[in-house]
Structure 1
Amino acid sequence: MSKPTVIDLFCGAGGLSLGFQNAGYRVVLGSDIDSTFGSTFLESHDGSAFLAKSAYDLTDDDILARTGIYKGQLDVLVGGPPCQGYSVYNHGRGEGDPRAGLFREYLRIVKHVQPRWLVMENVTGLTSISGGRLLKDILSEIRAAGYPDVDFHIFKAEEYGVPQERRRIVFIANRLGIPVSFPDRTHGGGKRDHVTVWDAIGDLPPIFEPREFESGAAYACAPQNDFQRLLRRGSSHVSNHCCPKLSKVNIDRVKHIPQGGSWRDIPFDLLPAGMQRAKRSDHTKRYGRPKPDGLSCTILTKCDIHWGAYIHPIQNRAFSVREAARLQSFPDSVVFHGSMTEQFVQVGNAVPPLLAKAIADHIALQSVDAIRHAA
């Protein structure tokens, strides 16, 4: 029996489609405007093709001709239209942001390709745009594209084995007459224990120079838990284990921050001028050092200690690219290409592969059940 097929639009490094690949799907194509992302994507997606093209210029002929798949034959079209237009971190967000209309380009491709299923991911901030009208418009337009069975769910990544507090909205729809449902959580609240920061990164070697392991490094020890064993599968060494260089004043600041601490632990005279005027209730994650036995804060497109709790739990430095990737549940076999800045962008923009796999497994199960009931 042939594997079900997947195409990933706005793919970036391909975290969403990697989850589907790990669930047994065949990823035939990824597309993104940035060719650097394509280098990462192609190495981690067996037998896939990549199109470096803007979504506005992407046509159904591009997709169908490149994959050899006819209209209506694709099993799943996945994608995460760039979310910055909706993000709670973008205070000018809204429908006027040109990036906020990219979901319509995704739906344009849906109409031409007619996949059996579609999966579209975004940030939860879009639920509040225009008083919820944008959310209603998205659901309406998906139905109008020929997918009457559609629903959305706000996922908590940590409930699916990801060592990070991360909230994302995922729309799932199909044209097969199958009522949409969502995978049950696997971690927390009486299920398996959450995967912690140290569960995720404790086997990685310490870094004493920011770029000392840029070309690769040996693991610090044997895998200590199931999460490390899973992510190390197929990898003999650590790649992308490099971190931003901190200025002397930032090194002096982080030395004062204990595990679970933040900017409030920095002596007043060492605080940046703007933060000396801040209320104690503000900037709760800035200059944060997570507890080893806790969850990471949301991994963004750079682990800048000014932005959040991105200080290593033990060392006085920021997280490395590989540590951020571990906290996103990327396998160590995925090598991120480009500059360090581009690597962090690829990691931070991705859907955690473990969350994506849970969604992929659930869709596969629903499809099998529908075939069984129809027989």
Structure 2
Amino acid sequence: MIDLFCGAGGLSEGFRQAGFDVRVGNDFDARAGETFAATHDDAVFLPGPIQNWSASQFLEAANLKKGELTVLVGGPPCQGYSVYNHQRGLHDERSSLYREYLRIVEGVSPEWVVLENVTGMTSAGQGGAVLAIVEGLQSLGYRVESKILKAEEYGVPQERRRLVFVGNRVGADIPWPAKTHGPGLAPFVTVRDAISDLPALVNGEDRGIVPYSQSPQSAFQAAMRGDSNLVTNHSATKLSAVNQARMSHIPQGGSWRDIPFELLPEGMKRAKRSDHTKRYGRLRWDGLSSTILTKCDVHWGPYIHPAQERSLTVREAARFQSFPDWFEFKGSRTEQFVQVGNAVPPVLGKAIAEGLLSKIRSTPKSKAKAVKRELANA
């Protein structure tokens, strides 16, 4: 597989866990590229904007010919569609990067395509980008479907929605992953399941790389640790004295409404009780994490630790995104948070990939070979 707009490599990590050979990644974010390169030893990282690279260069880096790639995945930058971007829409230049994905699809001609984005894409510009992606892939000979997947229903300890497109040119049905968690299935993976084993920290504390303070307390923690013996990317942002005072009033599951009026930020003193519902939220041990964004700032949402008077660390955010602990993020803490928040949870990526792999293995080879012959004669 080849991963376009790969970021730190959450989607490709999920595909790798499912058994795919990750050949190439591309992203314009240099720090994310450092993380991808360090965590994908066997892959080639092509740095810089995708506009700088041709389809033939991707194929050369992957050591493949046109039509030989099994799957091309990609997640064009989503801020142009995000509900957190109040000026969102198709006028945002980031909203047109899906066309670059289609350009590479045309030049590489993979058997399968996977494209993911935020659910806001369905409404921004009256859903124009969704229609353009579907029609673009269909014009290139792909059968394609889209679906909104809930990450928590596949074992990710976080409320997260992603719009996923899956298509193929080999005549196969689209294999959507079956839900594994929720009512009637396995219980959701909770905040406690995800992070209760990580070393305790106080506000502003940075102990560097440290050993685990206790054994795994859940199957999820054991899976995230793997063979790791040390905890990386685990330091607490130093919050101001007034923010510490505010946090002291907030119980698990609470929010800005629990802060005494005189301690509220000036702008929030005028807020209605129905406004800013997630600001200054404290997570509940037995609940799910809120959606991890590119900045786990208590002013933005529920990013206060359930039992400690501090905001979340990069490692805790990475756990909520289901990144394994050996996956070390490069750059400053701010840059690390961006990489984690922009990523597709590997566990969700793995569920998508396993569905594809099952379908690929069951698709008659004669059908795929016939399509390759057509390409060769085109």
TM-score tier by shorter-chain length is: over 0.9
Partner residue in 2 for 1:31 = 26
1:156 counterpart = 2:125 = no
Instruction: Give the residue type in structure 1 aligned to 2:329.
Output: F
- Displacement, 1:150? 0.3
1:325 and 1:133 mapped to 2: Cα distance? Answer: 32
SS at match of 1:227: helix
1:286 counterpart = 2:283 = no
Percent identity between matched residues is 56
Alignment CA distance shift 1:227-1:315 (3 Å): same
Partner residue in 1 for 2:337 = 344
Aligned match for 2:122, one of 123, 127, 131: 127
How do 1:1-375 and structure 2 match up within 5 A? 6-147=1-142, 149-208=143-202, 210-213=204-207, 215-371=208-364
1:110 and 1:211 mapped to 2: Cα distance? Answer: 46
SS at match of 1:366: helix
SS at match of 1:50: strand
- Displacement, 1:161? 0.3
- Unaligned 5+ runs, structure 2: 369-378
Instruction: Give the residue type in structure 2 aligned to 1:85.
Output: G
2:205 and 2:42 mapped to 1: Cα distance? Answer: 32
SS at match of 1:26: coil
1:10 and 1:130 mapped to 2: Cα distance? Answer: 22
SS at match of 1:65: helix
SS at match of 1:37: helix
- Displacement, 1:131? 2.4
What is the root-mean-square deviation in Å for CA atoms of aligned residues?
Answer: 1.4
1:269 and 1:245 mapped to 2: Cα distance? Answer: 22
**Does the 8 A contact of 2:197 with 2:212 survive in 1?**
yes
**Does the 8 A contact of 2:295 with 2:337 survive in 1?**
yes
2:367 and 2:124 mapped to 1: Cα distance? Answer: 40
2:227 and 2:112 mapped to 1: Cα distance? Answer: 30
- Displacement, 1:372? 7.8
Alignment CA distance shift 1:113-1:374 (3 Å): closer
**Does the 8 A contact of 1:235 with 1:332 survive in 2?**
yes
Of 269-278 and 62-71, more deviation after overlay is shown by: 62-71
Instruction: Give the residue type in structure 2 aligned to 1:184.
Output: A
Aligned length: 368
2:126 and 2:33 mapped to 1: Cα distance? Answer: 37
**Does the 8 A contact of 1:27 with 1:46 survive in 2?**
no
2:37 and 2:227 mapped to 1: Cα distance? Answer: 17
**Does the 8 A contact of 1:13 with 1:346 survive in 2?**
yes
SS at match of 1:108: helix
**Does the 8 A contact of 2:159 with 2:291 survive in 1?**
yes
Deviation readout 1:153-204 (Å, 9 max, x if unpaired): 1010000000000001000001110121311110001100000001000000
Instruction: Give the residue type in structure 1 aligned to 2:339.
Output: Q
TM-score of the pair, normalised by structure 2: 0.95
1:142 and 1:244 mapped to 2: Cα distance? Answer: 44
- Displacement, 1:227? 0.3
Instruction: Give the residue type in structure 2 aligned to 1:124.
Output: T
